[in-house]
Amino acid sequence: MSNSPGVSHSLSRQAAEDLAVARDRFNRSTANLSESISEFAPAAGMMTVAQHVAHVARVIDWFMEGAFRAEGFDMNFEPQIQTVLRIESLSSAREWFEKSMTGAIRLIAAQSDAELMTALPPGPVLGGLPRITIVREIVEHTSHHRGALTVYARLKNIEPPDPYGM
């Protein structure tokens, strides 16, 4: 639903573009990671390469679910963590990431400016802030793990590509 006839959703369009850029940068900067290092972790107890990518996907899903359901954010993290820790394949983690990011982009793009400015449910996670805030959080979280994965790549003597496409 549009704010007024003939006017595009400027916030939703920009937010969807921000998510698309984050997806592209994440994919570009992790492009040199291969299935052969899916289970690499620098030390015991750290997430593997595949788990990092899966974690990013799960957090995208978590933000989208929390922002668009009446109950808000699911703060029961243990089952979410266990789902991520079961991931062993980088290709399956990448598929999850693509599905999550594509779904987030579509859902955000379909919102009106008013819907994106709707307050998030009360609670410890962005409580009361505008719904559109989750886009910034997804972009930041994706960037954080993009950086961690470039460190993993360098530990395996893999030069990560420039995330900005230069």
- Number of C-beta neighbours around residue 99 at 10 A: 13
Is position 17 within any domain?
Answer: no
Is position 133 within any domain?
Answer: yes
Is position 162 within any domain?
Answer: no
How much is the pLDDT for 41?
97
Is position 70 within any domain?
Answer: yes
When mean pLDDT is compared across 62-66, 117-121, 133-137, the lowest value belongs to: 117-121
CATH of the domain at 147: 1.20.120.450
100 contact partners, CB below 8 Å, separation of at least 6: 57, 58, 60, 61, 64
The stretches of 37-132 forming alpha helices (DSSP H) are: 49-68, 77-85, 90-109, 113-116
Mapped onto helix, strand or coil, the DSSP state of residue 130 is: strand
Is position 41 within any domain?
Answer: no
How much is the pLDDT for 8?
53
Is position 69 within any domain?
Answer: yes
What b-and-e string marks burial along 56-94, b requiring 16 or more CB atoms within 10 Å of the CB? bbbbbbbbbebbbeeebbeeeeeebeeebeebeebebbb
Could you tell me if 64 and 149 are in contact, meaning their C-beta atoms sit under 8 angstroms apart? no
How much is the pLDDT for 18?
97
Domain count, the chain: 1
Residue 74 domain boundaries: 51-155
How much is the pLDDT for 123?
86
Q: Is the pLDDT of residue 19 over 90?
A: yes
Name the percent of the chain lying above pLDDT 70: 94
Q: Which two tokens stand for residue 142?
A: 């994706």
Nearest to 94 by CA among 32, 1, 7, 15: 32
Rounded CA-CA distance 72/34 in Å is 36
Chain centroid to CA 55: 8
Rounded CA-CA distance 124/134 in Å is 14
Is position 21 within any domain?
Answer: no
Is position 129 within any domain?
Answer: yes
